[in-house]
Amino acid sequence: MKLSEIKNNQGSINVEADVVDVSGIREINKYGKNLKVATAVLRDESGKIKLTLWNEETGKVKTGDRVKITNGYAKAFQDDLQLTAGKFGKIEVTGKATGTYSDDSSSSGDGAAPSIKQEKVGSEEKKTNSFDDEDDSDDEEW
């Protein structure tokens, strides 16, 4: 599956992509539990998407890795489509990133990474690539 084919509330997602950015690890308290969370940006030839990493996943993935997500789940959070392994999925580092992208904005130096956004237009869903420079410190685990 390509990143651009991922839809909101979709499960059973199997995808391989390059990690082009990883945020610092944050600690949050949710439902009385202390959790670690980080956000990675994945890229393939079709686009980019954020990957939310929870607890032990936060130390597993770094910029320049190639990762395989098995049985992942996608959900829009603050109008931003994000992917996670969730309770039943798996994240594996399979090697080094393989892609070279002609419009690689991960080296633009502005810190913002475009992500695949999804919006409803009438009865059709429309995806666009846009920049998101908002703080994700209140991401939810799904």
Cα(91)–Cα(55) distance, rounded to whole angstroms? 12
Cα(138)–Cα(131) distance, rounded to whole angstroms? 18
Domains of the chain: 3-98+112-132 (2.40.50.140)
Cα(25)–Cα(22) distance, rounded to whole angstroms? 9
Cα(25)–Cα(44) distance, rounded to whole angstroms? 24
Q: Which of 90, 83, 64, 57 is nearest to 139 (CA)?
A: 83
pLDDT in 10s for each residue of the chain, 142 residues: 999 999 999 999 999 999 999 999 999 998 899 999 999 999 999 999 999 999 999 999 999 999 999 999 999 988 899 999 988 999 999 999 987 765 544 433 333 344 444 444 444 444 444 334 334 434 444 4
Whole-prediction pTM value?
A: 0.70
